[in-house]
Amino acid sequence: MLLFLSPTRENAVQKKLKSSFFNSLFILSTILLFSINAEAVPSFARQTGLSCSTCHTQSFGPNLTPTGRDFKLNGYTMSSSGSDFNSKLPPISAMVVGSFTHLDNKLSEPAAPGYNTNNNASFDEASLFYAGKVYSKLGAFVQLTYNGIEDILELDNTDIRLADRTRLGNKDLVYGVSFNNSPTVQDLWNTTPVWGFPYTESPLTNTPGASTLIEGGLAQNAGGATAYMMWNNLLYLEAGAYAQFSTQFQRNVGIAESATANKIDGGAPYWRVALQHQMGGHYFALGTFGLRANIVPGRDHTFGNDEYSDLGVDANYQFLGSQKHIFEYKASYIREDQTLAASNQFGSSQNVNNRLFSLHTNGSYTYDQTYTINLGYFRTTGSYDPLLYSGNTARKPNSEGFIAELDYVPFGKSDSTWAPWLNLRFALQYTAYTKFDGSEYNYDGSSRNASSNNTLFLNGWLIF
C-alpha cells in the first residue's frame, strides 16, 4: 500500500479534521455492524463466495467481466448459501488511496492549498462502503469518502437497486430500478464517464478545462431514478431522469457547492440502449446513451437557462478465454449540442449555439489477472467562442493526449493471501498532451505549453 502525506499539510486544524473524520468513520462502522440484520447483508466477495477475479478482469478495480456485469444488473443481491461468510457479516468495506505526482513543468501555483507546485506525495482519499444485498431483491453500492486533498467528508458514488427477473417471449428478462447520484454510475460497461479509463487520475495536476455535461458535470450534486431491463442477455434498455439536490442537502452530505454554482432547471432525462453478445471467450457490446438538461447559469434565472443535449455511442470488446491472457478494447464518443441563450445574455458566451465533442479509447492486455498494460487516447474539440474560452489563447476547448499505464494487482484470486479480505492495486501512469485548452504552445498566454502538463502518476489503491 502507498500512503503518502505531505508533512507541510500537518497543521492543527487539519489534524482536528482528520481526527473528526476517523471518529465519524468508527461511529458509522459501529452503527452499520450492529444495527443491521446480518442475515441480509453479506458483501460482494463474501456474499457470492466467488473470488474478485471472477467479476473483475484485473482482479480489482472497476473493469468488469460478464459475471461482474450480471451481478450489478441483478442489484448486487446474488449470493451463495454455501459461503462460510454468508449470513454472518454485513457488507462493509473500506478503502485507502495514496499517490505521487510529477509534472514535466511545475505549476505556476499549487493545485490545492498546502501542496507544492510539483512533486507531490498525497493521501488522496479514504472510503467506507456499504456494498451488497440489503434485503431480498434490494441491493446497494454506497460510498462515503474522506477527500484527503480538500479535507472534507462527502457522500460519493451511490447506486441503490431493486431488481427482479421473469420471462418474456420465452426468454429471460431482468428488470429493475436504480436510484443514484451521478449519470452513468449505474452503467454496466466501462465505456461511459464514471467508470471509464483511466480508473484513477492525479488530483494535483492540470486537467483540460472543457468537458461535456455528462462527463461529471452533475456528479454527486444531482439525484436520479432510472428503470432498466435486460432481455435475453442481449438487449439492454434504460430510461429515467435527474434533478438537482437542494443546497441544504448537498451541505449535509459534504458536497461543497457555492451559492452561485450552475443547477438543473426541472428534470434532466437520461437514456441508455446497448446490445451485447458472447461467443466462447469473445464478448462484444455496442451501445448509445444520452442526457438532456436545462441549466441555470450561476443560479440566476434573469435570462432563463442554457440547454445541453449529450449523445454518446460506445463499444466494448473483451477476449477472456481461460482468463490467463485477457485482451480488451473500449471506445466512447460524445457529441454535446449547447444552446447558451442565458450565458449569451450574461456575456459569458459569444455564441448562442456551440458544440463539444469528446472521444475516449483504450486497449489493454492483462496477464493472469495480475499484470496489465493500458494504452489510451483522448480528444476534446469544439466551437470557437472567445468569451466561453477566454482563459486560453486559441479561444477553443480543444485538448488531446495519450495515456500509458502499467498495473500490478498481487491479490484478488481465489488462492490469494487473505482472500477475499485484501485487495491491492499499484498503477504507474504517464499522461502526455499534444494539445491542451486549444493549443500546443503557449495555450494560456504565459508561455506554458501543452507538454508542460505531462504527468507521471504513481498510485496505490487498497480495499479490504
| Tens of pLDDT, residues 74-106 | 999 887 655 444 445 677 888 899 999 999 999
Query: Which tens digits make up the pLDDT trace of 182-195?
Result: 999 999 999 999 99
Res 49: pLDDT: 65
Split at pLDDT 50, 70, 90, the class of 322 is confident
User: By mean pLDDT, which of 28-37, 40-49, 254-263 is the weakest?
Assistant: 28-37
Of the candidates 423, 403, 405, the one whose C-alpha atom is nearest the C-alpha of residue 414 is 423
The answer to whether residue 293 scores a pLDDT higher than 90 is: yes
Say if strands 152-168 and 171-180 run parallel, antiparallel, or are unpaired: antiparallel
Task: Name the band, by pLDDT with cuts 50, 70 and 90, for residue 259.
Answer: low
Instruction: State the CB neighbour count (10 A cutoff) for residue 222.
Output: 22
Residue 416 binned pLDDT confidence (cut-offs 50, 70, 90): low
- Give the residue-averaged pLDDT of 315-338: 96
**pLDDT by residue (tens digit) across 380-408?**
999 999 999 999 999 999 999 999 999 99
* Beta bridge partners of residue 396, listed in sequence order: none
What pLDDT does 354 receive? 98
Q: From CA 390, how far away is CA 439, in angstroms rounded?
A: 13
- In 3D, which of 119, 196, 200, 212 has the Cα closest to residue 431? 200
- What pLDDT does 253 receive? 73
**pTM for the predicted model, two decimal places:** 0.87
Q: Is the pLDDT of residue 373 over 90?
A: yes
Is residue 350 scored above 90 in pLDDT?
yes
Residue 248: the pLDDT is 78
Instruction: Answer whether 296's CB lies under 8 Å from 262's CB.
Output: yes
Query: What's the pLDDT at 382?
Result: 98
Average pLDDT of every residue of the chain? 86
- pLDDT at 450 (0 to 100): 98
Find the mean pLDDT for residues 234-257: 85
Span 401-429, average pLDDT: 81
Contact 264, 287 (CB under 8 A): no
Higher-pLDDT residue of 94 and 266 is 266
**Residue-level pLDDT at 11:** 41
Band (pLDDT 50/70/90 cuts) for residue 420 is low
349-353, 368-372, 376-380, 435-439: range with lowest mean pLDDT: 368-372
If you average pLDDT over residues 287-292, what whole number do you get? Answer: 98
pLDDT of residue 463: 80
SS (H, E, C) 297-336: HHHCCCCCCEEEEEEEEEEEEEECCCCCEEEEEEEEEEEE
We find that the CATH architecture of domain 7-463 is Beta Barrel (2.40)
Say what the pLDDT of residue 128 is. Answer: 87
Across 181-305, the runs of DSSP E, i.e. the strands, are 222-231, 235-244, 263-264, 267-279, 282-296
Percentage of the residues of the chain whose pLDDT score is greater than 70? 83
Q: Is pLDDT at 340 greater than 50 in this prediction?
A: yes
pLDDT greater than 80 at residue 159: yes
C-alpha 121/C-alpha 5 separation (Å) is 6
- End-to-end, the C-alpha distance of the chain in Å comes to 12
Sort 354 into a burial class: Cβ within 10 Å, 0-12 / 13-18 / 19+: buried
Residue 257 CA to residue 246 CA, distance in Å, equals 10
pLDDT score of 131: 81
The answer, yes or no, to whether residue 28 has pLDDT greater than 70, is no
